[in-house]
Chains A and B, each alone.
Chain A
Amino acid sequence: MAKLAYQQILPYLPAELREMLRHADERQLAQLEELRLKPLTPPLCRFSEGEAFLSADGALVKKAADGAPLSLSDLHKTVMLLSDSSFYAVEEELRRGYITLPGGHRAGLCGRTVLQHGEIKSLKEISAVNIRIARPVAGLAAPLLPRLLDQQGQLHHTLIVSAPRGGKTTLLRDLIRALSDGEGTAPAHIGVVDERSELAAMRGGVPQLPIGIRSDVLDGCPKAEGITMLLRSMGPEIIVCDEIGREEDAAAIMEAIHGGVRMLCSAHASSQEELFSRPVLASLLQHQAFSRIVMLSRRQGPGTIEWVKDGSLQPC
């Protein structure tokens, strides 16, 4: 029987917590999106709808007082297991604040930052772990894709927008897969600048999530530099960036657009007003850098398409 997504993270949890999850309701855990761990508080499970604490016997309870608090040593052990007992080998990931796990799951970490020359060197005294379960949804992009193609069947410069946990990364990933594999369109060579390692979840040079056979990934690379590197080196037809928002991103995007490459990007905002309140994004929209803007929400679950608009912000 195929493993449920949450079962792939069990080897990275201390024995006691693993047992608690083994006794929990499997149907509920199949919907698990995040497992949040903090010392002296019970593990918190976040689902697409609501959240619950874990009790000692594996029951999912509403009140924190009914849950089983996680000991500090168990939290430390979790961090050890997440790093494969090799903190030194994940220094770069610790600097960025997360560790990517097989299967594309991701453990976000909080703790005390170690600074060197004013820059974050690493994290220590880890105080919170948030394991986000990756769940690629094949076919998610299919209904949307025709609306993002022009008359020649080429992708419009597209911006996907949603609030955090709105499903934009999942949709973006499936769009990459569909465009790369030529599902519903001609196959295209895609360059992915995966600054936060969320799209492809590269581990040891291998993408942990499906991104199609014609996709090249620049992992952990700042977006502006990544776009320039891909343009120079890989000859992509489409460049994909997740969560744009800095000035240098906008400059690189404009360069790429004027260089004949299609851009597929995402950004944080929960409404058109919020989108325009972000100076860099507002500037890009005013210059009509994107000819398709897709707004997502969680209204009917993550990835609900609220509207699709063209460059002049007219519904299309």
Chain B
Amino acid sequence: MLKLCGALCILAACVIAGWQRAQALEQRRRWLQGAHQGLLALMREIDYAADPMPQALAAAAELAGPAGDLFRRAAEYLRDSSGCTAGEAWLQALADSSPLAEDDRRLLAMAAEGLGVSDAANQLKALELLRLRLERAELDAAGKAAQLGKIWKALGWGGGAVLVLLLL
């Protein structure tokens, strides 16, 4: 009975570990999808409303899902910090964001360079370039979430079962 309980515990632990790895991949996909949507919203705000950056970032935050915090914090830094530019506020917000893959962080940091420093046409060009890269990263993340997610889940089950068999 004790052995059975132990075996079930080991199996459950392995399955959860595999599931967590798969979830992390799915979360990254959702976060990048949110950032992509937020960026699109920011571009719309700049193009149609021409609202100043603090308002534009705050509006984008509403549509950015899991990445909303990044836009919201950037808007807050910009509004509250005396002498802070949009680029600095964006980088500060990015540094505060929940753990991100280094590649994703580097990609999003690109936005800081030209944020708010040019007319609408050039702003949109620069943000469109970032959006395309973000879209590619999102597709990559979706692919990984679908393929590796399944592998991690299967590995959780399989690894747990193998471990149980070895220990029995």
- List A residues at the B interface (Cβ < 8 Å): 10-11, 13-15, 18, 77, 80-81, 83-89, 91, 122
CB of B128 closer than 8 Å to a CB of A:
no
Say whether A87 contacts B85, CB under 8 Å. Answer: no
CB of B111 closer than 8 Å to a CB of A:
no
Chain B: number of interface residues, binned into ranges? 20 to 34
CB of B120 closer than 8 Å to a CB of A:
yes
- List B residues at the A interface (Cβ < 8 Å): 46, 50-54, 56, 78, 82-83, 85-87, 89, 115-120, 123
Known: A80-B117, A91-B119, A91-B120. A85 touches B85 (CB 8 A): yes
Q: Give complex CA distance A77, B83 in Å.
A: 8
Residue of A13, A77, A87, A88 ringed by the most chain B CB atoms within 10 A: A88
Q: Give complex CA distance A14, B84 in Å.
A: 8
Q: Give complex CA distance A187, B86 in Å.
A: 45
Residue of B nearest to A11 (CB): B82
Say whether A85 contacts B83, CB under 8 Å. Answer: no
Say whether A87 contacts B118, CB under 8 Å. Answer: yes
Say whether B86 contacts A86, CB under 8 Å. Answer: yes
Q: Give complex CA distance A10, B83 in Å.
A: 9
Instruction: For B117, list chain A residues within 8 Å (CB).
Output: 80, 85, 87
Known: A11-B83, A86-B52, A88-B46. A80 touches B116 (CB 8 A): yes
- In the complex, what's the smallest C-beta–C-beta distance from B60 to chain A, in angstroms? 13
Say whether B53 contacts A85, CB under 8 Å. Answer: yes
Instruction: For B78, list chain A residues within 8 Å (CB).
Output: 85
Instruction: For A10, list chain B residues within 8 Å (CB).
Output: 82
